[in-house]
Structure 1
């Protein structure tokens, strides 16, 4: 027995976290005009600031990176100013918050792209999935393959977005390399059939993620840079013929870059943990800094994995939606409220900021 608990403080790079519980990124589709975080977002995140670390909803690095209606951006000054209200509110409560940087790639629709352009991807392979546009779920559009000379611009968009996040007051950023979005589309051979330096071998397919990460590290520092991966998740129609060697290699390379954490979706995103064989402990051994475990965790499983030394921090997603005081409820052994599925995406305060804290806990 290690004697560690989820409620112990934890040192994450230059930060001291109040506990080992992480708010996982949760898309809520409530950004306002200009893809600026809504006025309610500051309340929403500050209500959950008792988590050791908050990771924001996925936030597009450019208009091209958008894949869903009413998701926020981090590429204009107005968006930076909107996010500053969120970070100020979280910091006032003593919380720590990272911004998740997002380019959806092929998981988009022409109606969300400038001038109705096709979404971009490593290869012109349409994803078998839907997105949310024009207030309904629709099939994603046929993508076009990115030209080789466009990739430095993608890298630079991530770098600039990281700089903008720090300008907005975030404590760091998480690069979204999971769930079937652009960086994972390059990583996994079900979406990438390129024959240039970004396709074919596991090294080539990892190249864009690693170039993005290196650029972000150079801009804001390794101690403020995390990466999220989902080795076997089939989210958004993604697939891989070689996940173990692919992600063993990625873990080694990210370790060499010195990033502060690796955030791993274990199993199918939001679904079963045993969707496909994978040795997550191998990633844990290869990556020497903080390992954040994600997917299907409750207090019992997280405590067990912590005691076994299998992870350092544990991300909770949907339990945080209806339980802004989730940390306090878990610590007290209190019951958890259920969320309303009808108000998960879009709308206003209902199902967003109006879930009450348990009597006697600290969320407001």
Structure 2
């Protein structure tokens, strides 16, 4: 019988349980995108997860979305991650780096560069900058000949991730960032081979995944998706057709996993489970929704065919989440006021559960 705490074979990794720590932006990197000793401690504290997935890591300077986020596009950034991967491995864990190109969800005040996207259509809402939220700028639409270099940036960062000791990488194809923008029917207004019908809109995602799998191996490559999600104003038409086509092409690559957020209705997500022959991670809770993922939601999705379950905010506030899930101990709430504030408060200060003697 499949249970949340039973082991699972993911590519070349033997996971001791099916609990995944979902990627969560925390804004604790140095201004030049280096990982820090505090970040090493943060991830090592949570190494009992079957798999850790880091916060989004920019694969290039122009791919940086938020200030305070780490990168994997310079030698110094790459070297800085070794303390993190060493700490996780010393504590018996396994860790993938999430590679996140922000695309249009960025600002010149953060990177010094005009953001790029599939089309010259700004994101909805305000983006984070070093001086506070500002309206999302109009991105520069990528020329057709430029698109492959941005797909290749994921592969280049993946090579650096392996050099830094990561067990693999997850491409951020969800939540309104660059891959998601290409999948979108309102952020992507292109008429070349990267736009228009479903076959065009999935092309960038497939090329990025293929380049990454070629660079470090398919068994070390996953991708996160948010079918039907409307983050940063993206919209997707023909959701079942779009994602069935995407998963069909990704299946040819034999990726380690697909990581899906519960952003569509349950029948649609179950159909995608059937369309994807490989390992499936499901995150049952929407980002910033009032209800966090819990054991009941995890068991429900395991029963529907998920192989692993990812937890976000529950892992943020409970470094010993796996033990709490095992014993039924209460899940502590996260302090939203310290999500992105920097420093160790609300980062390294969450305690483990104290059991009665």
TM range (shorter): over 0.9
Ranges in structure 2 where 5+ consecutive residues have no aligned partner: 286-292
How far is the alpha carbon of 1:99 from its aligned partner? 0.4
Q: Write out aligned runs for 1:142-153 (5 A).
A: 142-153=138-149
In structure 2, the residue corresponding to 1:279 is in which secondary structure? helix
In structure 2, the residue corresponding to 1:136 is in which secondary structure? coil
Pairing 1:285–2:274 present: yes
Q: Write out aligned runs for 1:47-86 (5 A).
A: 47-86=45-84
Map of 1:94 onto structure 2 = 92
d(CA) in 2 for partners of 1:244 and 1:104? 25
Map of 1:172 onto structure 2 = 168
Map of 1:270 onto structure 2 = none
Runs of 4+ in structure 1 off by over 3 angstroms are none
Q: Is the 8 A contact 1:244 1:278 kept in 2?
A: no
Ranges in structure 1 where 5+ consecutive residues have no aligned partner: 268-272
Q: Please report the RMSD computed on the Cα atoms of aligned residues, expressed in angstroms.
A: 1.4
Q: Is the 8 A contact 1:87 1:97 kept in 2?
A: yes
Q: Is the 8 A contact 1:70 1:346 kept in 2?
A: no
d(CA) in 1 for partners of 2:188 and 2:284? 26
Q: Is the 8 A contact 1:61 1:161 kept in 2?
A: yes
Q: Is the 8 A contact 2:185 2:237 kept in 1?
A: yes
d(CA) in 2 for partners of 1:96 and 1:210? 25
Give the alignment's TM-score, normalised by structure 1: 0.93
Map of 2:241 onto structure 1 = 245
Residues paired across the two proteins, number: 349
Q: For residues 226-276 of structure 1, what are the alpha-carbon distances to aligned partners after superposition, in whole Å with 9 as ceiling and x for unaligned?
A: 011101111111101211100010111111110010000111xxxxx65xx
Q: Is the 8 A contact 2:54 2:97 kept in 1?
A: yes
Q: For residues 270-311 of structure 1, what are the alpha-carbon distances to aligned partners after superposition, in whole Å with 9 as ceiling and x for unaligned?
A: xxx65xx761112111111100001323101211321x2420
Pairing 1:299–2:295 present: yes
In structure 2, the residue corresponding to 1:348 is in which secondary structure? coil
Map of 1:212 onto structure 2 = 208
Map of 1:128 onto structure 2 = 124
Q: Is the 8 A contact 1:107 1:129 kept in 2?
A: no
The 10-residue stretch of structure 1 (239-248 or 133-142) with the greater mean CA deviation from structure 2 = 133-142
Pairing 1:342–2:337 present: yes
d(CA) in 2 for partners of 1:256 and 1:86? 32
In structure 2, the residue corresponding to 1:257 is in which secondary structure? coil
Q: Is the 8 A contact 2:284 2:297 kept in 1?
A: no
Map of 1:356 onto structure 2 = 351
How far is the alpha carbon of 1:69 from its aligned partner? 0.8
Q: For residues 118-176 of structure 1, what are the alpha-carbon distances to aligned partners after superposition, in whole Å with 9 as ceiling and x for unaligned?
A: 21010000111222112422221111100111112112211110100000100000011
Q: For residues 167-203 of structure 1, what are the alpha-carbon distances to aligned partners after superposition, in whole Å with 9 as ceiling and x for unaligned?
A: 0100000011100001110111111110111110101
The 10-residue stretch of structure 1 (164-173 or 3-12) with the greater mean CA deviation from structure 2 = 3-12
